[in-house]
Amino acid sequence: MTSAAQVPPAMREAVDAARERVADLHAELPRWDLVAWTAGNVSERVPGVDGHPDLLVIKPSGVSYDELDAASIVVCDLDGALVEGERKPSSDTAAHAYVYRHMPDVNGVVHTHSTYATAWAARGEEIPCVLTMMGDEFGGPIPVGPFAIIGDDSIGRGIVETLKDHRSTAVLMQNHGPFTIGGTAKSAVKTAVLLEEVARTVHISRQLGAPLMIPQDKIDSLYDRYQNVYGQ
C-alpha cells in the first residue's frame, strides 16, 4: 500500500529517527505483557518544519511484533491518511491523529489491551488513587472514557474529552482498553507499564478488603514532588 503524499525532504531525518524509536518501543509492549498477538500500538508525532505540517509514525495493522522494524512502521498525516509505507496503518490511527490535532503538548500515544487495566475498562470503573505511585505518576485516579467504536476518530474524541482537564496521562476507554499519552512516545510507554501495575495492585487489594484512599492534599504533594523534583 502506498500513498501519493510524500515525506518532505526537510523532515526525512526526523521521520526516520522516529520510526526507529517507535519500532524499538513496540518491543516493550509484549516484554511487559501489555498486549496479545498483534493488538496494541505506539505512535509518535514528528513536528513539521519549514511550513510542512506535523506527521505521525505508527505500527501497521495486524503485523506481528516479531516482524516489526523501522522500515515497517508507517507514516501518516494528522488526519490519519497514509503518507509513506507499504502496509495499512493501525486501525487506531484515527484516534491517535485526533489526539495529536487537539493536544499539542502530546507527542506520544500508546494503546494496549493489558489485562488488569482492560478489566477495569470492561466495568467502566475508574481506578481510585490508593497508591503513592498513582499520586506520583497520575496525580489522582485513572478516569474512564466513553464507549466508542473503532475505525473513525470517536475514540480520539473520547480520549481528548476525558483527559483535556485531567492530570492523568492514562484513560480507560469503556469496554475497550487503556490509552496513554506523553511528551514522548517513550514516556507514554512508561505510563502504560505503570498503569497496568497499579491496575493489578488495586484489583488485588480490593480482594483483601477496602483500599484506603489518599487525601487530595497528599496526592497533590506527591504529584508535585515526582513531576518537579524526583530523578535527575
Report the pLDDT value the prediction gives residue 144, as an integer from 0 to 100.
98
The answer to whether residues 214 and 129 touch, using CB atoms and an 8 Å cutoff, is yes
Query: What is the spatial distance between Cα 161 and Cα 10, in angstroms, rounded to a whole number?
Result: 33
Does 1 map to a domain? Answer: no
Does 3 map to a domain? Answer: no
Q: Is the pLDDT of residue 1 over 70?
A: no
Domain with 88 in it = 9-227
The answer to whether residues 110 and 169 touch, using CB atoms and an 8 Å cutoff, is no
Report the pLDDT value the prediction gives residue 113, as an integer from 0 to 100.
97
Amino acid code (one letter) for 156: G
Q: Is the pLDDT of residue 110 over 90?
A: yes
- For residue 96, give the CATH number of its domain: 3.40.225.10
Catalytic residue among 100, 111, 116, 223: 111
At residue 103, the 3 state secondary structure works out as coil
Does 40 map to a domain? Answer: yes
C-alpha cell at 164: 483535556
Reported as a single tens digit per residue, the pLDDT across 8-24 is 999 999 999 999 999 99
Catalytic residue among 52, 102, 113, 166: 113
Residues 6+ apart with CB under 8 A from 17: none
Averaged over 91-96, what is the pLDDT?
97
Is 166 a residue of the active site? Answer: no
What is the number of structural domains in the chain? Answer: 1
Catalytic residue among 96, 98, 176, 223: 176
Is 230 a residue of the active site? Answer: yes
Is 136 a residue of the active site? Answer: yes
Residue 202 C-alpha from the chain's centroid: 21
What's the chain's length in residues? Answer: 232
Reported as a single tens digit per residue, the pLDDT across 126-185 is 999 999 999 999 999 999 999 999 888 999 999 999 999 999 999 999 999 999 999 999
Report the pLDDT value the prediction gives residue 4, as an integer from 0 to 100.
54
Does 86 map to a domain? Answer: yes
The answer to whether residues 46 and 14 touch, using CB atoms and an 8 Å cutoff, is yes
Does 143 map to a domain? Answer: yes
Report the pLDDT value the prediction gives residue 3, as an integer from 0 to 100.
55
Averaged over 214-232, what is the pLDDT?
92
Please state, rounded to an integer, the average pLDDT across all residues of the chain.
96
The answer to whether residues 175 and 97 touch, using CB atoms and an 8 Å cutoff, is no
- Beta strands 170-173 and 144-145 are parallel
Q: How confident is the model at residue 5 (pLDDT cuts 50, 70, 90)?
A: confident
Cite the DSSP H helix spans in 124-172: 132-138, 154-163
Does 4 map to a domain? Answer: no
Q: How confident is the model at residue 223 (pLDDT cuts 50, 70, 90)?
A: very high
- Beta strands 41-46 and 55-58 are antiparallel
Q: How confident is the model at residue 230 (pLDDT cuts 50, 70, 90)?
A: confident
The H or E element containing residue 199 is helix 185-208
Catalytic residue among 54, 136, 220, 224: 136
Does 2 map to a domain? Answer: no
